[in-house]
Structure 1
Amino acid sequence: MKNLYLQIHPLDNVLVALQDLPSGTKVNFDGNDFELITSVAAKHKFSLQDLATGEDILMYGVLVAKATREIALGEALTLENVVHAARDFSLSKRNTEWDRPDVSAFQERTFMGYHREDGSVGTANYWLVIPMVFCENRNVNVLKDALQAKLGFQQPKGYENEVENLIALYKAGKSVEDIMNADLEQSASKPAVPLFPHIDGVKFLTHDMGCGGTREDAITLCGLLAGYITHPNVAGATVLSLGCQHAQTSMLQQEITLRDPNFNKPVFILEQQELGTEKRLLEEALKQTFTGLMQTSSQKREPAPLSKLCIGLECGGSDGFSGISANPVLGNLSDKLVTMGGSVILAEFPELCGVEQELSDRCVNEETASHFMNLMQTYNARAVASGSGFYANPSPGNIKDGLITDAIKSAGAAKKGGTSPVTAVLDYPEKVTEPGLNLLCTPGSDVESTTAEVAAGANIVIFTTGLGTPTGNPVCPVIKVSTNTVLYKKMPDIIDLNCGTIIEGDESIAAAADRMLEYVIRVASGEIRPKAVILGQDDFIPWKRGVSL
């Protein structure tokens, strides 16, 4: 560790501890010498000056908290002495000037993807089986049991052997202590050989929506499902409908046409109440799904420019290092992709609280800026009406590891979006149509936000985490990036890349971004499967507006 602490922005009146610092640690910063009067855990912050009650606390150059009592020079910031605070925001002058990064090393690079007729390019090739309503979830799961293993798409689990070992120990009369201390070896399962080698899998999505909610809920769900059906990583779909639900198949077809007026992928829609027996429904679904796979199995990867990448920017299980390691690296990668004509999606609106002014000023025109500010205000008002607000976003894990206010968390989360102008602001579940940085209104909840980013067109998601989270997606590769080396070594089964090198002073942000982009190209080409794909982490949760932070 080359440094013990860090000032993120010249205006900040706090420092971030880069490792555990005991009380009495000598600090020399900007010509001033002082000692810590409290211990400060790694990732947490301590004051650079004596702060009076009510005084502003700045990080990343913005207001992130106010002191609730006097805080002495060298004292740790805690929930006991600070409270969330953020600046008001308003429509202001455009600030769209930015320094484009050097992309000469990637300008002529390509990835191997699936070219679709609408001009998009997939990084994978999946068939979907989707229910219009939760009543059809059981039938979707029956199809999954029938098809997945037989077609060679079953994810190898390997834990059945562990259970057999436990049963054998029990039958042998072993004690609870013996069983708890037993070494359960996990035998390696041979991967199945797919019947259709150019299809990456059949994915079965289930959800708890489609009926019983508002008409807005039904339309929004249909838009989300249409986003998946029209997604470049999807070859075709089988849709199961009961028939009487709010989310009608006619709504789905309208939303598909809205996203792709010339849509011509194979999509089979089956209504149970029209067909009659469950047996007839399932047999028709099996036949049509199988013939759909036959029709699309000849699709192959071909070279595509990096401008065809649309990357979802996500963070979850964030810590006090997120905003100074993995998120700025992702921001640098975002700027590089935008420079090459690609698209990036910055979502999680509750985690943009406090940086609204900067982001609205970066919008390419006043209409886009006003749309962003209105979405932020409306979303927060809905959260308040539900008994909460953006201030309640940080989780216990976030707080434990240094993100003690939502504004601190947000200022670091926004770093994923880099510095390029905001070309478009989208409301959930709209689709990306413009290259550049797109802001998408979603909750901060990992799976709901990732689900929405993919529906908006992300064909790769890069997910930074400081605490570790297994989040994935059914149709889009999710690359997991650790903010610290401890996590990278502790959870190698779910983490793909490490940005703890930034904290340790061993790598620059730009160099780490280049390393990440090389990895993205290999994932987009199907050369590498991220850990979430290997584990079959097929998380899919539609967002019900106004409920989730």
Structure 2
Amino acid sequence: MKHQVARIHPADNVLVALADLPPGTPVPWDGTTITTTARIPAKHKLAPRDFEPGDLITMYGVLVGKVRQSIPAGGLLTTSNIQHATDSYDEHQHEKAPWSAPDVSRWQDRTFLGYHRSDGRVGTANYWLVIPLVFCENRNIQVLEEALVNDLGYARRKSYQPQTQALISLMQAGKSVEEILQTDLHSAENAPQGPNRLFPNVDGIRFLSHEGGCGGIRQDAQTLCGLLAGYITHPNVAGATVLSLGCQNAQVSMLQDEINKRSPNFDKPLFILEQQKIGTEEAMISKALRQTFAGLMQANQVRRQPAPLSKLNIGLECGGSDGFSGISANPAVGHVSDMLVALGGSVILAEFPELCGVEQELVDRSVDTETAERFSHLMKAYGDSAIAVGSGFDMNPSPGNIRDGLITDAMKSAGAARKGGSSPVVAVLDYPELVTRPGLNLLCTPGNDVESTTAEVGSGATVVLFTTGLGTPTGNPIAPVVKIASNTALANRMPDIIDVNTGTVIDGEETIEQAGERILDYVVRVASGEEVAAVRHGQADFIPWKRGVSL
């Protein structure tokens, strides 16, 4: 029989409802029976005893809230009776935590088929980039996309134009508003055609439009150039076409400096065009088309070859989280993280606003005091910048998070941090620095999932594991984003965007470790070219972080 509730950590003093519990439901727990005094929705928290104002709430073994109104045993924890609270931390009290690596013997000889680059890194895909240095070039980027994508066989999106045509026909036939609203249009859909690529070894051409490059402050331009350089030098990228206006803050020389920082012996084809030097739009677009086509011919010469799993760099991300994320999807991904670290690979844990409350654990896991101090410095600076504009990490949970059981930022963070497993923190990076060390890397990014995913890939992630409890279609232009559901209901409701279901852990069908092994097996297939849902849909989200406050 499936349990009604669960306690995540032995030190926790609240329970998680695993199913909807109506008022008056008897809940057997720890030798006694708790009777619910209110409806406890699945994913939400149940009080196993009476709580009074000022009492502390513990989940995942850490402080996640403080009681502000009395809660009876069997009562529901809500935003009205609980407020955000976390323990303080001290980077100077760094006590290196011991780590027992998981047994990865059966994975030691596994390989994936990747694209080997001259700098020793191995990509999981092979893309060509077309990038504007400034938002003024976004229109020209769109013109190039219209000229290249369809004829080269890279169109991926389903067309809904036949549905519009069917609606026009119905109106012209005199159908009423009510009849049109009741019409089933599925038969009028056009599914996308399978890939018929002129360049079969090039996975696609990606067009990274953005709103930066000029205005703001010079540091914004420098940071943008660092991010773009991270994409151009990325092992999933074969080469790039860059469009510059000429007068913007993000100068070509700035981009080239950032490329040299990341790849001193950079040898990929790179074409840079400056509109104010070339002249007319027609001249610029024509030259860009010739150069891009020639670059694609070069990129098509690269083939997938076997590579050890130590060459993987995995980004860890969550979005649309729910009250099950921290007990199914995130710890399962955490097990993947630990396995990959044990195999010599790299992983990236980001979203600093969603590490609020678990800082001391990460300090203690840092390999040395310098690493611990840098993490503490970046966390405190980020938190102070949020407070300075009247916000704070406590304002991070979204309405969807709260609706599905994550009622304080500390509660959300304690579950989100489980994506990072338990391995040592080998490095702390500030956005948009490059990962250079195998092991668990912390990267300072917002909690906003697209900004954070964009950043992780810019820092070198070749695959992103993205957990979700509510569902999101998010993808990335150059790295496959594996969408992992925290609950079976979501996986069944949105199968077109979900790649892996870990609701099996909640359902009692497998352990966290078994789910993690299943995810890693899927990652190996994806790294070898199997398409994830976001790639099939052409979902390629790209949002640079302008270093203001974003939670």
Identify the TM-score tier after normalising by the shorter chain: over 0.9
- Find the aligned partners of 1:203 and 1:34 in 2 and give their Cα distance: 55
Deviation per CA, 1:229-282, whole angstroms, max 9, x where unpaired? 000000000000000000111010000000011111011111001111111111
Matched, 1:53 2:56: no
Give the Å deviation of 1:192: 4.2
Q: Does 1:522 align with 2:525?
A: yes
In terms of mean alpha carbon deviation, does 26-35 or 505-514 score higher? 26-35
Verify the 8 A CA contact 2:394 2:409 in the aligned structure 1.
Answer: yes
Matches within 5 A, 1:181-220: 181-184=182-185, 185=187, 186-220=189-223
Matched, 1:231 2:257: no
Deviations 1:313-369 (A, max 9, x none): 000000000000000000001000000000110000000000001011100000000
Given the alignment of the two structures, is residue 409 of structure 1 paired with residue 412 of structure 2, yes or no? yes
Quote the residue 2:545 is aligned against. Answer: 543
Which string of whole-angstrom CA distances, capped at 9 and with x for unpartnered residues, describes residues 275-295 of structure 1?
Answer: 111111111111110111112
Give the aligned residue type for 1:235.
Answer: A
Q: Is the 8 A contact 1:115 1:302 kept in 2?
A: yes
Q: Which amino acid aligns with 2:438?
A: P
Which residue matches 1:431?
434
Q: How does 1:126-275 map to 2 (within 5 A)?
A: 126-184=127-185, 185=187, 186-275=189-278
How many Å apart are 1:157 and its aligned residue? 1.9
Equivalent in the alignment of 2:501 = 498
User: For residue 86 of structure 2, what is the aligned residue in structure 1?
Assistant: 86
Cross-structure match for 2:289: 286
1:482-538 CA-partner distances (Å, limit 9, x unpaired): 000000000011001100000010011111111111111111001x20000000001
Task: Say whether residues 1:104 and 2:116 are aligned partners.
Answer: no
CA distance in 1, matches of 2:282, 2:128: 22
- C-alpha separation between the residues in 2 aligned to 1:154 and 1:501? 35
CA positional deviation for 1:158: 2.4
Amino acid at match of 1:31: G
Q: Distance in 2 between matches of 1:3 and 1:51?
A: 24
Could you tell me whether the CA contact under 8 Å between 2:49 and 2:72 is conserved in 1? Answer: yes
SS at match of 1:475: coil
Does residue 398 of structure 2 align to residue 395 of structure 1?
Answer: yes
Deviates more, 1:52-61 or 1:123-132: 52-61
Q: Deviations 1:124-154 (Å, cap 9, x if unpaired)?
A: 0000000000000000000000011111111
SS of structure 2 residue aligned to 1:328:
helix
The reply to whether residue 40 of structure 1 matches residue 43 of structure 2 is no
Within-5 A mapping of 1:420-459: 420-459=423-462
Asked if 1 retains the 8 angstrom alpha-carbon contact of 2:156 and 2:192, the reply is: no
Normalised by the size of structure 2, how large is the TM-score? 0.98
Cα distance per residue 1:39-86 (max 9 Å; x no partner): 211000011222221111000010000000222222110111010001
Deviation larger for 48-57 or 406-415: 48-57
Structure 2: which 5+ runs fail to align? none
State whether residues 156 and 190 of structure 1, in contact with CA within 8 Å, keep that contact through their aligned partners in structure 2. Answer: no
Supply the distance in 1 between the matched residues of 2:156 and 2:86 (Cα, whole angstroms): 46
Partner SS state of residue 317, structure 1: coil
Q: Which amino acid is the alignment partner of residue 326 of structure 2?
A: G
Aligned length: 548
8 A Cα contact 2:158 2:190, kept in partner? no
Rounded Cα–Cα distance in structure 1 between residues aligned with 2:276 and 2:386: 38
Q: C-alpha distance in 1, partners of 2:277/2:549?
A: 34
| Counterpart residue type for residue 51 of structure 1 | F
Q: Which amino acid aligns with 1:70?
A: S
Distance 1:40 1:48 in 2: 12
Tell whether 2:520 aligns with 1:533. Answer: no
CA distance in 2, matches of 1:192, 1:375: 44
* Partner residue, 2:5: 5
